[in-house]
């Protein structure tokens, strides 16, 4: 079945440092989504990437979708304590017919030292 | 507009006991999902319901049953709880008419401990 691998599992940074998490799929994806989960909270949708090579920005967050639509990354510039949480990627298979299921990566837990 | 609600928030069970986790959404979404989250394992899909009247197994369905009661409600039942079912359970919903670009909205979660 489809697998979505996410690295690193954990990342601890000093406030102000940059952070990147990477997501790789074993199969070509139709789209990839990113979610953030604050400690003790629930996953919240951040963004969706659909096109090959797509790059989207949300303030200090930059999201990329690979040319082959099998990998993605999330980069945070100048981290802040409010960035603390677990970041999940979730991919949807690029197969014929309806496929309602997202496959989530295991997430990257980001902690920020003030 | 409450979004996705889940009850209870916390539950402690003894091995062998049964319980039902409730989930409701008020966004008129047709698809609903149950996930479990364990440390280091991410979110794993237990069951999903693409539309009212249909349910399908996800990645880890063993030990669980589901009921799509109506468009709003999707419940998860543990018939005989086991310690391996200690986890945080999240319900989610989405508007499948936007497929493949629909996003999922998650409830606050139910924290279950099975002793």
pLDDT (tens digit per residue) in A20-70: 999 999 899 989 999 999 999 999 999 999 999 999 999 999 999 999 999
pLDDT reported for residue B99: 66
Q: What are φ and ψ of residue B96, in 5° steps? A: -70, -15
Collect all residues of chain B within an 8 Å Cβ-Cβ radius of residue A48. Answer: 101, 103
Residue-wise pLDDT for B1-17, tens only, equals: 789 999 999 999 999 99
pLDDT of res. A38: 96
For chain B (115 residues), the mean pLDDT of every run of 10, in chain order, is 93 97 95 92 91 91 95 96 97 82 90 97
Q: Give which of B47, B104, B105, B110 to mutate to test A binding, by max A Cβ within 10 Å.
A: B104
Write phi, then psi, for A81 (nearest 5 degrees): -65, -25
B103/A contact by beta carbon, under 8 A? yes
CA A61 to chain centre: 11
Output the CA–CA distances (angstroms, integers) from residue B83 to B36, B78, B86, B93, B95, in the order listed: 14, 12, 6, 27, 34
User: Taken in order A60, A66, A69, A73, is the CA torsion positive or negative?
Assistant: negative
The pLDDT assigned to A2 comes to 67
pLDDT at A100 over 60: no
- CB-CB contact of B15 with B114 (8 Å): yes
- Most A CBs within 10 Å, among B74, B100, B107, B109, to test the A interface: B100
- Tokens describing residue B86: 């200690």
**How crowded is residue A58: how many other Cβ atoms within 10 Å of its Cβ?**
12
Which residues of chain A neighbour B44 with C-beta distances below 8 Å?
A: 104
């Amino acid at each position: 079945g489809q697998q979505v691998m996410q690295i690193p599992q954990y990342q601890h940074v000093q406030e102000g440092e940059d952070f990147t998490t990477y997501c790789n799929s074993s199969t070509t994806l139709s789209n990839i989504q990113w979610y953030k989960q604050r400690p003790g909270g629930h996953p919240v949708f951040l963004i969706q990437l659909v096109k090959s090579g797509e790059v989207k920005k949300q303030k200090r967050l930059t999201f990329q979708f690979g040319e082959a639509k099998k990998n993605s990354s999330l980069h945070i510039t100048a981290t802040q304590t409010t960035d603390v949480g677990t970041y999940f990627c979730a991919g949807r298979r690029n197969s014929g017919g309806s496929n309602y299921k997202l496959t989530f990566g295991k997430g990257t837990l980001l902690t920020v030292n003030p | 507009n409450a979004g996705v609600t889940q009850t209870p928030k916390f539950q402690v069970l003894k091995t062998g006991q049964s319980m039902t986790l409730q989930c409701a959404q008020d966004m008129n979404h047709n698809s609903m999902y149950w996930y479990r989250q364990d440390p280091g394992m991410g979110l794993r899909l237990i069951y999903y319901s693409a539309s009212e009247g249909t349910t399908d197994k996800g990645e880890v369905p063993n030990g669980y049953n589901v009921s799509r009661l109506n468009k709003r409600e999707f419940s998860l039942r543990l018939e005989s709880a086991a310690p391996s079912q200690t986890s945080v359970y999240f319900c989610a919903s989405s508007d499948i008419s936007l497929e493949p670009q629909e996003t999922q909205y998650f409830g606050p979660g139910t924290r279950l401990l099975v002793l």
